[in-house]
């Protein structure tokens, strides 16, 4: 394995980690506020579908991005309505939304485009182009640093950089602002927040709005990368992001590391589907299961106890 291969794998890892990171941060905001969000998958699908459909129709990925975020927000608000306003079970609401998104995207897609739930392929103008600044190109002939800069720093779409920027931003919002303090308090002890005269419901809705926007970005990223929507294209990324969230102990920086690790493992699995060690060939199934196996091992042995927000999963009912 030479240096360039390593760079290429890291590059691929970053691309694969981007949607996971955005989704994971979405889950982080939501769960920190005490709303368990199984429906991340639904938001990804809704956003991917709407951004693909609207970008094709209008010819602009930016309008598509807006539509994707709006679709994801709509699902987020539905989740809020069921689980905050009507105090329903958050898990059930999330699962229901997942089914709804999986079916609705295909049905509407079929009605609009008659392509079996697929959206038409997006042309280069209708997708995010990758950022190719002149300084990395100039650097590319420098040994060691050059290729790394050219592959890793440049060559990604704007959403990757937004995702990376969202990590310190999330940390700052959650741990250095009054809003963040209250948000975390709502997830730990909502009655204390209520006693202080701050609206629990409003804070939880605010968290879901942030989650909706982040998932909208992630879904649009998928549609832009694959140049269109295909049914069920999120392929379980919403659930993997949830796993990464536990892995990350509900902390933004750890979320970055966890999703990068998942991206890296998937990239390695893609590059080396079967590795032969002497006479023994490690089967591809093992490589594909590796992210999950490692999750269990690292979670059990290295991360320590992952303690979720205390009020997570419980609708807040005021005392009478």
**Nearer to other proteins among residue 70 and residue 227 (C-beta):** 227
Is residue 270 within the footprint of other proteins (CB under 8 A)?
Answer: yes
**Per-residue x/- track, 190-209, other proteins (CB under 8 A):** --------------------
Regarding 276 and contact with other proteins (CB under 8 A), the answer is no
Q: Which of 99, 281, 285, 298 binds other proteins (CB under 8 A)?
A: 285
Q: Does 314 bind other proteins (CB under 8 A)?
A: no
Q: Judged by CB under 8 A, which of 14, 15, 42, 93 binds other proteins?
A: 15
> Mapped to the 3 state alphabet, what secondary structure does the chain carry?
CCHHHHHHHHHHHHHHHHHHHHHHHHHHHHHHCCCCCCCHHHHHHHHHHHHHHHHHHHCCHHHHHHHHHHHHHHHHHHHHHHHHHCCCCHHHHHHHHHHHHHHHHHHHHHHHHCCCCCCCCCCHHHCCCCCCCHHHHHHCCCCCHHHHHHHHHCCCCHHHHHHHHHHHHHHHHHHHCHHHHHHHHHHHCHHHHHHCCCCHHHHHHHHHHHHHHHHHHHHHHHHHHCCCCCCCCCCCHHHHHHHHHHHCCCCHHHHHHHHHHHHHHHHHHHHCCCEEECCEEECHHHHHHHHHHHHHHHHHHCCCCCCCCCCCCCCCCCCC
Task: Please pick, from the candidates 62, 92, 99, 116, the single residue that binds other proteins as defined by CB under 8 A.
Answer: 116
Q: Residues in contact with other proteins, total (CB under 8 A)?
A: 32
Per CB under 8 A, the segment of 71-79, 82-90, 141-149, 223-231 that binds other proteins is: 223-231
Q: Which of 50, 200, 218, 230 binds other proteins (CB under 8 A)?
A: 230
User: Contact residues for other proteins (CB under 8 A)?
Assistant: 5, 8, 12, 15-16, 19, 110, 114-118, 121, 222, 225-228, 230-233, 235-236, 266-267, 270-271, 273, 284-285, 288
């Amino acid at each position: 394995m030479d240096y360039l291969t390593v760079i290429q794998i890291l590059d691929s890892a970053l691309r694969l980690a981007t949607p996971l990171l955005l989704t994971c941060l979405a889950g982080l905001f939501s769960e920190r506020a005490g709303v368990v969000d199984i429906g991340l998958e639904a938001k990804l699908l809704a956003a991917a579908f709407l951004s693909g459909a609207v970008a094709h129709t209008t010819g602009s990925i930016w309008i598509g991005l807006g539509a994707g975020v709006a679709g994801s927000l709509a699902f987020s608000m539905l989740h809020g309505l069921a689980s905050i306003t009507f105090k329903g079970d958050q898990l059930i609401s999330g699962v229901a939304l997942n089914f709804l998104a999986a079916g609705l995207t295909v049905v509407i897609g079929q009605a609009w485009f008659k392509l079996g739930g697929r959206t038409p392929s997006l042309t280069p103008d209708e997708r995010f182009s990758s950022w190719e600044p002149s300084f990395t190109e100039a650097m590319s002939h420098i040994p060691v640093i050059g290729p790394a800069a050219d592959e890793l720093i440049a060559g990604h779409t704007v959403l990757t950089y937004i995702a990376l920027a969202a990590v310190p931003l999330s940390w700052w919002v959650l741990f250095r602002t009054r809003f963040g303090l209250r948000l975390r308090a709502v997830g730990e002890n909502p009655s204390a927040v209520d006693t202080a005269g701050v609206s629990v419901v409003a804070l939880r809705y605010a968290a879901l709005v942030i989650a909706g926007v982040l998932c909208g970005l992630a879904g649009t990223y998928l549609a832009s990368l694959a140049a269109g929507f295909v049914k069920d294209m999120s392929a379980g990324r919403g659930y993997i992001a949830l796993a990464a969230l536990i892995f990350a102990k509900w902390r933004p920086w750890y979320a970055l590391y966890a999703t990068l690790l998942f991206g890296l493992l998937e990239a390695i699995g893609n590059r080396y589907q079967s590795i032969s060690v002497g006479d023994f060939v490690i089967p591809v199934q093992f490589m594909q299961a590796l992210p999950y196996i490692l999750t269990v091992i690292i979670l059990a042995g290295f991360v320590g106890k992952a303690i979720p927000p205390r009020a997570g999963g419980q609708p807040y009912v005021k005392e009478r």
